[in-house]
Amino acid sequence: MRRIIIIGATSAIAEATARLFAARGDALCLVGRDASRLAVIAADLGVRGAVRAATATLDVTDFAAHAAVLDEAERELGGLDTVLIAHGTLSNQSECETSVDALRREYDINALSVMALLTPIANRFAQQGFGDIAVISSVAGDRGRMSNYVYGSAKAAVTAFLSGLRQRLQKSGVNVLTIKPGFVDTPMTRDFPKGALWAQPDTIAQGIVKAIEKRRSVVYLPWFWLGIMGVIRSVPEFVFKRLRL
């Protein structure tokens, strides 16, 4: 049985993943900013087999509140061995091009809050000598594009942070998994036209649980995004800058 804290637990991808954990009989602490939605999800996870489904409220940009929430989760579950960080916002790119406040807010949510949460979590897991850290980054972090480079660069920062953290923690028995989904049909992408490359949250959730269990380092979900991003990364800059992506 795992003792799992999920940050951003109301996310569609996180909820689908939590259902798989619950069905295995894991213990969960769901963290998010919407207490009533968390309560509904927790009740559902209890029915699905979770041995414990606690909740804690947190707006991740309230950095001063992070430590207390982690303490609460540890108390509720009697320890922690797995963390899934899933929160995020798809930044309004054009707003961020004209408003530094908007740019900073997006970085707080998508990058800094993740790093801030991982700092005490990494130290706790290193001290106990075990643990699995899984964070949802994005394929958008693999190369900045004009249509979403604020979001993409925040995810790139998270990806690089995780790469270094993975090296630091590997001798402590702690695994760090970077999850890079492609297009997923969730509330975040509700306004986008959907096509063949789109996946459902359940598919991504299965990939996440499998990658945690196998203690993978980096996973593209679905797998074909590894090839797509390989091609996108290989386009020379003098060509890339003329594309309208």
Ligand X SMILES: NC(=O)c1ccc[n+]([C@@H]2O[C@H](COP(=O)([O-])OP(=O)(O)OC[C@H]3O[C@@H](n4cnc5c(N)ncnc54)[C@H](OP(=O)(O)O)[C@@H]3O)[C@@H](O)[C@H]2O)c1
Check: CB of residue 10 under 8 Å from CB of residue 32.
yes
Q: Pick from 120, 173, 187, 230: which binds ligand X (CB under 6 A)?
A: 187
Q: What is the largest CA-CA distance in the chain?
A: 55
Show contacts with ligand X in window 221-240 (CB under 6 A). Answer: none
Nearer to ligand X, 130 or 194 (CB): 194
Q: Which residue has the tokens 């009989």?
A: 25
Q: Rule CB under 6 A: is residue 189 a binding residue for ligand X?
A: yes
Q: Rule CB under 6 A: is residue 55 a binding residue for ligand X?
A: no
Show contacts with ligand X in window 34-53 (CB under 6 A). Answer: 34
CA angle (69 as vertex; 65, 73 as ends), nearest 5: 175
Distance CA 181, CA 141 (A): 10
CB of 186 to ligand X, least distance (A): 3
User: Which residues are marked as active site?
Assistant: 151
Q: Identity (one letter) of the amino acid at 57?
A: T
Site string for ligand X, 7-36 (x = CB under 6 A): -x-xxxx------------------xxx--
Of residues 195, 39, 221, 75, the one with CA closest to residue 135: 221
Distance CA 153, CA 40 (A): 34
Q: Rule CB under 6 A: is residue 143 a binding residue for ligand X?
A: no
Q: Rule CB under 6 A: is residue 119 a binding residue for ligand X?
A: no
Q: DSSP class of residue 192? A: S
Interacting residues with ligand X (CB under 6 A): 8, 10-13, 32-34, 59-61, 86-89, 109, 136, 138, 181, 183-184, 186-189
